[in-house]
Amino acid sequence: MYRNHFELTKKPFEISPDPEFLWLGEKHREGLAVLKYGILENKGFLLITGEVGTGKTALIRAIEREVKARAIIVTIPDPGMGLMDFYHFLAAELNIERDFRNKGEFLARFKRLMLEAFSGYRRVLLIIDESQRLNHELLEKIRLLSNIDLEGKVVINIFFVGQSEFREILAREENRAVRQRITVSYHLPALDEAETAQYIRHRLRVAGTQREIFTAPAVQAVHESAKGLPRRRVLIRHALKNALTPTVTVAAIETGTLLGGNMIVETVFGWPGLGRLVVEGIFTRNYPLVQAAVLLYAVTYVLLNLLADVLQTVLNPKVRL
């Protein structure tokens, strides 16, 4: 419907990455240049990180196209797999016979291929997208792949692409060996408002219109609500807000312990207060006092829990009273 209305030849904002729509902003171009340099200079280990949706996978597509002629490229879209599955995937992509029975046989064939490529002046590039999903074992095995060299020369370049938390994974002590070998690293920041405007305009152009369909406030609204929000805002708006739900519940339940607990604290440490009064009331059989205190505790407890339940409905739209 809207396509006719806006005179578009195709849909401008499909979710699947379509190379035709690729827009290289300044940050993408810079990242691309850094990585291309790393690959062509045989730097070994490269890293690119960025928040979800900042265009990392789109950038991989661009790199593949740029270095295709000079490199054998294998891209692993999701490394959340076991070791043998990983070797089989590599073998399939590299046209290595897949009848190997163990990793030793695979590695021998893999090595032969690497050396052939090297003597044919072709680089080998292993790209691992979604690297934050790599487990430690696979990460180590990938590092060991790069030990294949020819007279000390790098024959395989490994390019990790992942969300920002991959940097935290690399910072762990157990991954020190991999971390130390990364020579080229780039972080792709989220788009700012001006870039968001350029990006939207670019996609509309590719879809066949020069019209300024998005007004400045519309661009601003897109930028505000887009997923590429700075991490801090995601944290405050989403993570902390969600964390409040259980906090409120636990706080309400804990008041029970607090009320009962103060009786013990006051008695044991000799600090006077309501708790002590109740204990004394029990010993002196002052029943009206004990009854009043129990009623007060119970009402406070019930009211606080009720308040917590009401707060839940405010904090969490999925909760209804």
Ligand X SMILES: Nc1ncnc2c1ncn2[C@@H]1O[C@H](COP(=O)(O)OP(=O)(O)O)[C@@H](O)[C@H]1O
The residues that touch ligand X, with contacts defined as CB under 6 A, are 15, 17, 21-23, 28, 50, 52-58
Among residues 57 and 220, whose Cβ is nearest to Mg ion? Answer: 57
Strand arrangement of the beta sheet that strand 71-76 belongs to: 71-76, 123-128, 156-162, 45-50, 182-188
Nearest-10 crossing angle of helices 193-206, 216-225:
110
Q: Is 57 in the site for Mg ion (CB under 5 A)?
A: yes
Contact window for Mg ion (CB under 5 A) among 56-64, 142-150, 262-270, 279-287: 56-64
Burial classification of residue 28, based on how many CB atoms lie within 10 Å of its CB (0-12 exposed, 13-18 middle, 19 or more buried): buried
User: What does 21 bind: Mg ion, ligand X, none (CB cut-off 5 to 8 Å by kind)?
Assistant: ligand X
Question: Least distance (Å) from ligand X to the CB of residue 206?
Answer: 9
User: What does 146 bind: ligand X, Mg ion, none (CB cut-off 5 to 8 Å by kind)?
Assistant: none
User: What does 22 bind: Mg ion, ligand X, none (CB cut-off 5 to 8 Å by kind)?
Assistant: ligand X
> Is the distance from CB of 161 to CB of 128 less than 8 angstroms?
yes
Q: How many CB atoms lie within 10 A of CB 219?
A: 19
Q: CA-CA distance, 289 to 159, in Å (whole number)?
A: 74
Question: Least distance (Å) from ligand X to the CB of residue 14?
Answer: 7
Question: Least distance (Å) from ligand X to the CB of residue 233?
Answer: 18
Q: Is 164 in the site for Mg ion (CB under 5 A)?
A: no
> Is the distance from CB of 161 to CB of 56 less than 8 angstroms?
yes
Among residues 77 and 260, whose Cβ is nearest to Mg ion? Answer: 77
Written as one letter, the residue type at 292 is A
Among residues 35 and 148, whose Cβ is nearest to ligand X? Answer: 35
